[in-house]
Amino acid sequence: MLETVLREIKRNGPVCSKDFKNENPHKKKEPSGWWNWKPAKIALEILYDSGILMVSRREKFQKYYDLAENVLPPNIDTSEPTERERQRFFLEKTLEAWGIAEPKDIGYYFYPWSTKTNVGVKALTNLITELEKGDVITTVQIEGYSKPCLMLSRFSEDLTKVSEVKDDAGIMSFLSPFDNLTWGKPRMLKLFDFHTTLETYVPKATRKFGYYTINVLYNNRLVGRFDPKMHRDKAALEIKALELKEDFKPTRDFKQQLTSTFEDFMKFHNAQSMKIGDDCPKFVKDAHQKE
């Protein structure tokens, strides 16, 4: 199948998964989904993960794959980095995205099964010492958190600004499940005592909460999650479910901020109306009915 896919691309140019028919016409047709890829799609992804193919364009949810040399600009340096250069790249990219992280958390940011990072604690020890001496990274201690963490030294000024924000400033954000803050479940659980799972890629029958879980950040805490659905044909936003942490008691300010942020969320998606589902707290339904 790998050879078939490559031959097709070399002959006809970029292809997407739907360009390949079901390879076994006698096989019983199974439901489609992220969890049930056909062989051609698996082959495309293997060749993509190997760097042989790249994505040349997207049309809606369809990715079109082409040979890497046809996509990558000719001035890009494709020479192999040294092991130390690779480790430094993964270390700095992780700290750039997360702000702070324990040394043992670095490996959680990149998928180890698809990217050979070699960024375990032992492997990084000498590099961390070297970068600390060069003032590239620095070690910080979080109040109430036992383990020391790493941070890029150039973020020191940002850390000072953040420390001046009051815990009850009334700031709320809705975070995509792909947001850097919630990427890396062990780290999220340790820092925020919060854990949620993206269930987009699992069959509907096995989902415990919803298709596309969005997390709620209030001040300096992750306090809950909700499951939205956009009905584009009706320009209507539906909040199917909203769940708050058991130990979080919603204040008047929180309720006002949540209502306001839902309105912003609705406008962002060009929705003309919003429906609050039965699996949402009563105060959310009451606030929506008053409007």
Domain boundaries, the chain: 2-71, 83-163, 172-290
Helix (H, G, I), strand (E, B) or coil at 67: strand
Q: Would you place residue 136 in the very low, low, confident or very high pLDDT band (cuts 50, 70, 90)?
A: very high
Percentage of residues of the chain with pLDDT beyond 90: 58
- Displacement of CA 82 from its chain's centroid (Å): 28
Of all helices (H) and strands (E), which one includes residue 158? helix 156-163
More confident: 26 or 189: 189
Write the CATH number of the domain with boundaries 83-163: 1.10.10.10
pLDDT tens-digit series, residues 112-131: 666 677 888 888 999 999 99
Q: Distance between CA 276 and CA 285 in Å, rounded? A: 6
Fold for 172-290, please state it.
Aminopeptidase (3.40.630)
